[in-house]
Each structure stands twice: as C-alpha cells, then as structure tokens.
Structure 1
Amino acid sequence: MALTQVYEKTMRPLLDTIDTLRKIGVADEGIKLPTIVVIGDQSSGKSSVIERLSGVSLPRGKGIVTRVPLVMRIKSSESTEELDILIEYGSEKKNIMHEEVEEAVREATRILAGDEKGVCPKPINLSVCGPDLPDLTLVDLPGITRVPIKGQPQDIYQQVVNMIREQIKPEETVILNVISAEVDWATCESFNLSKEVDQEGSRTLAVVTKVDREPDGAYEKVLANDVNVGLGYVLNKLTEKQSALQRLPPSVVTEAEAMMEFLRITSERTRIMEGLMLRGDRHVEFYDDEEMLYPSKLNSLFEDLEETLRGATSKFFSEGFRNRVKTATVGFAVANFLSHSVFKQLLHEEVEKCKPVCFEVLEKVVEYTLRVSDEVIDICAASLPGLATTMKETAGQRLGASQQTAYKFIERELEKSQAIVCTFNHYYMDTVSSLTKGLDECKDLQCAHGHDARNWPTSYNGTVRCGHGHAIQLPASLEDAPEGFLKAPLVDNASQALQVMQISVYAYWKVIHKILIDIIPKELRF
C-alpha cells in the first residue's frame, strides 16, 4: 500500500505531465520526451503484447496491419468500471466503445495511409483509461517486412526501417523489442536496429513471444544474452493456450481434456482441408457453395493467369513491335541479324511486363486459401470462438511464410528468364519452322500474282486469300497477324529480315510462357 501511495504521489504526476507535453506538440519543436517504442519483425507478436497491456483488441491479419505509428496512452483509473477510450488522428477526436477499437483503428489507418498497403508516419493517438491497467505510453510501429506484396511500394522495407530509426534514436526512448522464440535472434532485424542506437543495450527491453513453441531454445538464448539486452527479458508463454482453455465448455475441466479437444478439432480441420484441397470433396456444411470447390477455383485462377500473361506482352507481329525491333537493331548488326544483346533486351522487357501478373495470381491464391481455411475453422471450432481466432491467426502466419517462399521462387524464375537466353525445348524451333512455312506459302501466293496491290492477299479467320480465288490456311499463331506483317516479303529484304526477327522473339517468348504457366501453378499447389 505504501508503494502505491508513493507511486501516486511521485510518478503519476510526472507521467501526466509528459502526456500533456506530448499532446501540445512539444516534440515538434525538437524537445524529446520519454517514450516506450514497440518494434519487432512482422508477425512477431507485437499486437498480442500490447493487447495484454491495454486490454483492448487491435487489428490483426497477415502482412503489415500496423501501417502508421499508434501512440497508446494507458492509464489506470478506479473511477470507472468500464474502459474509457479516446481516439485522435488528424483533426478527428472521438470517444469509442471497447468493441469499436479494432474497426476505428483500421478506419483511421485507411484515412492516414490510404486504401493500399503502404505506411505513413502520421500517428494515431489512442487513450485507454480503466481499472487494473498500468500507467504507460507506448508507440507501436509497423512490423519489419522484407518482401513487398501487391499494393505495397517496392521500398516498403526501407520506409519501415527509417520510421523505426527515427523513433528509437532519441536517448530518452526505451526500446521494447518484441521477438519470436522461433527465429534466430542474432540475425533478427529489430535487434540489429536496436544495436545501431543503443550499443550497450542500456535502454532495450525484450519481450519473447511464442515461447511455448520452443521453450528450451528460448531459455538458452535468454541466458546467453548474445544480443546484449540491458533491461532484461520478459517471456510471454502459453498465452494462446491459456486463452483457449478459459473459453472451453464447462465439461472440459482439466488440461488433459482440453488438449484432447484441441487435438480433435485440429485433426478434423486437417481432414476437411485435405479433402477439399487434394480430392475436391464437397463437405456437407458448404455442399452448394461453388467457392469451396478448391481445385476448380484454383484451376480457374491458373487459366486466368495464362490468358492474362498472353495479354500482358506485346503484339509480336504488330507494326509497333516491328518498329521496336528495327530501332533496336540499328547500329548493332547487319540488317538480317538479330544480335544476342538486342534479343535479350527485348525479352527482358517482355518478362518485366509479366511480373505483376505472376505476383497477382500468388496474392489471389493466398487470399482464397485463407478464406477457405477460415471457413473450415469456423465449422470445426464453432463452440470455441477464442480458439477459432487463434487458429485463424496461426494459419494466416503459416500461409504468409509460404507466400514469401513462393514469391521468392517466382521472382527467381523470372530473373532467370531475363538473365539467360537458352532453351533445349524443341517447341522453339517447331514454332519457328511452322511460322516460317506459313509465311513462305503466303509469299509464294503473293509472288504468283505479282506486285499488283489489288492482288495482294488479305487474311480472314486464319485464311489468306487473294483476288484470284487462291487461299492457304495459316498457322494458328498467325491468324490475328496484321496484313502489313504478312505482306512484308513483298516490300523489301529489310522488311523480310525484320519479319524473321519478330518470329524468333515470339517463338522464344512462347517457350517462356509455357514454362511460367506450368511452374507457377505447381509451386502454388505444392
């Protein structure tokens, strides 16, 4: 009791004064205030730690959820039994209910940082006042991510790191480093950032999450303290399982019974997911839901990939592409020879156009798989909403890790297609031969009727016809070719040479196209 009175008399006024100074904006004048800044890698468990301190639920999900600094003022008050919550951002300031916090923070984030997935340095201020709370002011920052996903700027990693550096640089700042027990601490980005500004570790505190998944390894790391944390460690153990135990039905009264129920639920989820994903089973709960036909839906997405890839590249037989080839070859080689460097550059540009398409299908597959997983979890853990939430978060984290692996695979395959021009696939020469034969027949037909423009052939539904009633059937690839391309041999030798080059680039691109529409679905199904 005496300690509480001393705290109320000495520490509380200081904390209140600091909050008052922060609200009136003295930090904008260069005055540094004592602050606790929460940093950590993406999915390290920062939100769980802050939720346990504040008693309110924050937005969760895969990827970067915290996209702006969240300044949370937590204050103990015995004058009210309910939480008194105030949110401020920009010119907005309003009181909200406990159950409205998550949506209010999402909306404020959308207004400050936009509808996409980028970050913004403008803060959201959230004041939480209620009984049995600690007196703290925390600044929660975006989690560190290394691989940008669709909708994020390519320099998202650098933006987040710069934001963290700016916040933790002042000596008045205490760095609360949230780290998962499952990762290698020596290579952890958040620890490396802490060391940059606090080499002695005198103002760094570490909270270790997910200790229950690797208890022995975590204890050894803490005892070794190789990362030099001066303020010590807090191990956050079994929070997920304890929360689930508290929500179990009354009939489950022991930990052993709870574990049996947990194993039953996870086993049922695995059985249903395997049926949906591997065999295409129709589960009775969503028998009529076409969206839950997993193989069919994925097949549709991959068919869209093939069509979208085809539409993303140039029209190789068009006048515009022929002019690109012509411009690229001037000064590099003789008129009828496409140099390796020019050929490689043309292909590099075409592959570059395909990157957004390939990454978009990855995003769609991940979003769809997560949606199916959530539906199955809702069925299996219908009576345990707390456990269902935890299972969804875990599934999202695992799927997020798989997404990053697939992203790197696709990125590497595209880079190889750009860097190396080589194929042992006979399809390349088969395509060249087929197109060349078709054009030779077209040329013979043209030559047989002279250079009279009235007798030049015109294409119609894949068939080349001339004014004398003669016709030949073109290869499918040339069915949509413009007449200017088909008539090129009758113009001059240079035009005929460009025609051959266009065929070469098209044939090689078809090889790349076939590779992509094979390996990407296989990787995403694996």
Structure 2
Amino acid sequence: MAPTSSSSSLPLVNALTSSYNEQIRPLLDAVDRLRQLKVMQEGIELPTTVVVGDQSSGKSSDDPSLSSPQLHLEYRDKRIETSEKDITLAIEIATSEIAGSGKGISDTPLTLVVRCVRNRIGAESYEEARASEAELFSSHHLLSRIDKSIVGIPVLAERLMRIQAQSIAKCLPNIVKKINEKLNVNVSELDGMPQNLVSVADAMRAFMQIISRAKETLKKLLIRGEYEDYPDENQMHGAARLVEMLNAYAKDLPADIPSKGSFLVEEIAILEEARGIGLPNFLPRTAFLTLLQMKVKEISGMPHDFVLKVWCYIEDVILRVLDEAAENYPPLQACTRRAAQNLVEKMRRKSREVVKEFIEMEMITDYTCNPDYMKMWVELMDNQDAFMELIHNHSKPAKMSIKVVGEINVAHLRGKHAGLIEQAFDIRMRLIAYWKCVVLRLVDVLALHVRYAVRKLVDKELESEILNEVVGGSRNGIEKMLEESPSTAGKRERLKKSIQMLKESKEVVGKIIDRINVMPLIE
C-alpha cells in the first residue's frame, strides 16, 4: 500500500480539531475553571483527564521511541515477551502449554499484542511524522495487516478525546450532587451563626433575645419540669433534682426525737434543775423548752446544708443555660456569668438567714395547731400506767415496748421519785409527739422557701441583675457585643467565600450539562 500523503491526512486532522473545539474543549475548560475555584478544597473530586494538544506540547515524552514493534503473548494471566523472529516458536510453546502436545483442543484464548507507536524524531515536522507513520503501517510486513481504521495518531487522538469526554460527562452529575450537598451544609451553618451585629440597637435586640431565651429555658427546667431541651441530661432536669434533694433532706432528718443515754435520763436531769417551790406534779414549761432547744440545736446544721446544696445546684444550671444562650458573644457571656453568680450568692445568704431565723423560732417557743400532736400524745400517755407499774413492781421484768418509742429498759429508774418519773415520762411523750410537727415544718417551710426563691429569681431578679451588670455602670457590655471574636469572624468569612465559590461552581457545571444535553458527545 502506498504511503498516505500529508495532504490526505489534513481533512481528518481538521475534523478532529473542529470536534475537539466544539465538544471537548468546553468540558476541559469547565474542569479547569472548577480547579481555579478550588472546589477540590471542599472535598469534591474532579476527574483526571488525558490532555490532547498540539505538537511539541510534551505528550509524546511519556512514550518510548520504538525502532521496531514490541510483541508479547498473553494467556492464563501470563505475559510472554517475544520478537518478530521468535514469534512462531513462542506461539508453538504457548499452544503446547495450553492444549498439550497431542493436538488437543482448548478454549483458552491466546492473544498476540503488537505495539500502533512512532514518535517524531529530532526536528521532524508534524506532516513528515504523519507521512512516516503512514509509510510504516503500509509497508511493514506485519503492521500493514492491521485494519487502517485503528492505526495512526489522529485515530488515537480521536479515541482519547472520546474517552476523555465520556469520562468527564459521566462525572458531572455526581459533581453537581456533591456541590449541592456541600452548599446546603455551608448555608445552614452560616444561617446558624449569630447575627453579625453592626450597631448598638442590633446588640440590644440580640441581648434581650438571649435573656428571654435563657429565662424560658430556666422556667422549663426549674419550675415547669419540661426537659425537651436536655432530654438525656438528667443533671439539667432541675425540678426533678430539687424534689430529689428535698426528699433526701427529709429522709435524713431524724423522724424520732434524738436521744442520748438511757430512757428519761435527760428529762429527769432537766426537771431536777427546774424544780422550785410550787405545787407537786406540776410540769414546768421551762423544762420542756430546754429539752426542745437541745434537740433542735442538734439537727440545726441539716437545714443549712440543704439550702447550700440547693443553691449550688441551681447556680450550676443557671450558668450552663446562660453560657449556652450567649455562647456566640464571649464578652456578654462573662457579664451574664458574673451577674448570675452575684445573684445566687445573694439568694444563698438570704436562704441561710431564713433557716437561721426559723431554727431560732423553733427553739424559743412551742406551738402547733396540728391535731395529730394531741392525738399522738394521748396515745402515748395511755402507756403511763403500765410504765409506772413496771417501775414499782420489781418482780416483773424491767423491759417493755411502747408504740413509736420501741423497747425500753426501766431498771435504772427503779428507786427514783415517782412524781419525777411521771413528769419525765410526760415530757418525753410530749416531745415525741411535738417532734413530728417540728420535722414537718423544717421540710415544708424550706420546700416553700426554695420554690418561692427560685421562681422569684427566674421571673424577675435574674433579668434585672444581668441588665444592671451589662447595661448599667461603665462596663459597656452591649458595645462589647459588637466585637466579634476572631474565630467567629474568620468562620463567617470562610463560609461566605465557600458558598460563593460553590455557587459559581454549580453554575459552571450547570452550563456544561446544558450544552451536553443540547449537543450529545461523539459516539
């Protein structure tokens, strides 16, 4: 076959160039534009392309210059290198290995691979290289047998162009999907950032919104017992935890009057000191009050500990809620924390004063209108006759059981003045009955006080304290809200740039997809 002239190859080259410029170049330009926009920094992968360009662009440097064809056989995952002169022997050896030496038949394929490549040499022009290429494929005794529709650089370039275009087009829908996903994430994140405050009026509005949101959250947690904001954080379930602490405090208070030593020893000692000139069997009120004071004083630390524990917990909840409400404004966060801590300290001192005053009231007077007091005292006094009989009758065992009191031993009381013992028994029974009223008041009063103090703090005093801290004085807390932290400002700017870049990228890809839909790629 005669060599193909350079002029005969021009129509193919021109057609190739036209097809490239119309269909392939826009795809490459789109990919290049996405790279320039740095879309890959957002984790969006772009297709790797094979570049087809003009001569002397460096493409051929990747291919070894071949003075003669390269041949090898492929079968059973093997690759056997050979040459033109040894090809017959190599095929015979491979055939024997596959089908055996007895002229057997096998369906295992035996493939001969010949390498469609000659690079330009030296200063050889493009046309000269194409002419030499054509001569090689027309005159070589093996290469001349290859179908001309699959040989030559123009054919190779056209094939690579198609593969390239199809590869890029195939990737575009997934690129659009990734761009949309990242764009939605960034837009949502930017929308969720705090408002960019530019004026004192903006700062004041944001401040009031923060206080309102914090108050509502605290009402839910500490008053209404609504925990949807912290469903899995039991420590933030304020109303439930306060009830829990109150129940523990009530359980720790002694249900029965604290007693030291043997039965009635304390009462007899107090009565002996309170004796004076007067009617016999007259129960001195001072003895009862003295014993009551002693017993109340013994447990006076428990109410104090309870209110301290309560306010410590409430402070933690308040600070957590305020910190989260003002987390985007560090200067405001510091002010609200300081205001809350000051307020809680005031409430703590007031609660301690309430407890102290209440304890003092319990110690200086005895009074109750609770009907259970008289009822219990009468029931307990029903045991007095049996008790005194046991004191006088030494032949009987020295032990007896009294309801509420439990088992008692009277051996140490035998021989003492009967009237004194009767007075001591009466005082003890009165103390036991009255102690129930004292404990109930110690629980109820503190429960009401804590409930009232918490509601007052959340409804009124917290907002007032924070306003005074932030707006009042010379702290300029509102103005400081305008000072956005470097990290927040940097994040906002980064998101804005990313969103703009992704929008541009989406537009670039959208245009090229529209082009593909209008003019399908080369088949």
Compare CA radii of gyration and give the structure with the larger one: 2
TM class, shorter-chain normalised? 0.3 to 0.5
Instruction: Flag the structure with higher helix content.
Output: 2
State the TM-score, normalizing by the size of structure 1. 0.43
Highest relative contact order (Cα 8 Å, sep 6+), 1 or 2? 2
State the TM-score, normalizing by the size of structure 2. 0.44
